[in-house]
Amino acid sequence: MIPANRVDRVFENLRKNNRAALIPYLTAGFPKLSWTLPLLKMLADRGADIIELGVPFSDPIADGPTIQAACKIALDEGTTLSKVLELVQKFRQGGYETPIVLFGALNPFLHLGLEEFARAAVEAGADAVLIPDVPLEEASHIRPALHKRGLHLIPLVAPTTPLERKRQIVSQARGFIYYISVKGVTGARAQTHFDLTEPLAELRALTTLPLVVGFGIASPEQAVE
């Protein structure tokens, strides 16, 4: 029997308390591989509801210059997917229950083998996977291996995603929907306002799953908004 996913439990508790989720991102292996576990613990201790843990890759598709640079340093440190999973396992062994979402390009997961990755990720204590270079049409090849182990495959919805495609995306989603707040790649923006009201209302009409907003959020004020 597959146990309840930590992501679902967290959002259920947040909903009961009428709270939004704080989900920080951390590139595994940056600035040093030995720093990642202490940073994970610090984020959990300081109130992170869920943590996105980036799996570094040499050719990221959605990352801006900051995360690209972090990935380069992490790779130079010898950070691999297997080492990332070892860190997740050590995090769990320390008694931490904060959900972990592995964020990264498809290549490292595919290289390990989807079935083997799903098994290893669950054994380590990961809860979900977010793969920005897997479009809707390809997700059906990825999802079964993850879902049968209890891992959520988190879908992304962009500002340019048409309504019908949004409907197709959310119909197959688990965990939460990741809404990309701005066009382009990750990274801080000079703007202080995000156009979220209509896009999120449109998504809310299509699903009861939690909606998470990411990309470009660089200040406490933007997070509050």
Catalytic residues: 52, 63
**Secondary structure of the chain: what % helix, strand, coil (to 5)?**
45, 10, 45
CA dist list (Å): 67 to 36, 74, 175: 15, 10, 24
Helix (H, G, I), strand (E, B) or coil at 101: strand
Longest dimension (CA), the chain: 48
Question: Where do we find the tokens 């950070």?
Answer: 79
Given a contact cutoff of 8 angstroms between Cβ atoms, the answer to whether 149 and 121 are in contact is yes
Interatomic CA distance for residues 99 and 174, integer angstroms: 14
Given a contact cutoff of 8 angstroms between Cβ atoms, the answer to whether 30 and 71 are in contact is yes
If you count them, how many residues does the chain have? 225
Could you tell me the two tokens for 178? 């990741």
Q: Is 143 exposed, middle or buried (0-12, 13-18, 19+ CB in 10 A)?
A: buried
Question: Where do we find the tokens 């959520």?
Answer: 152
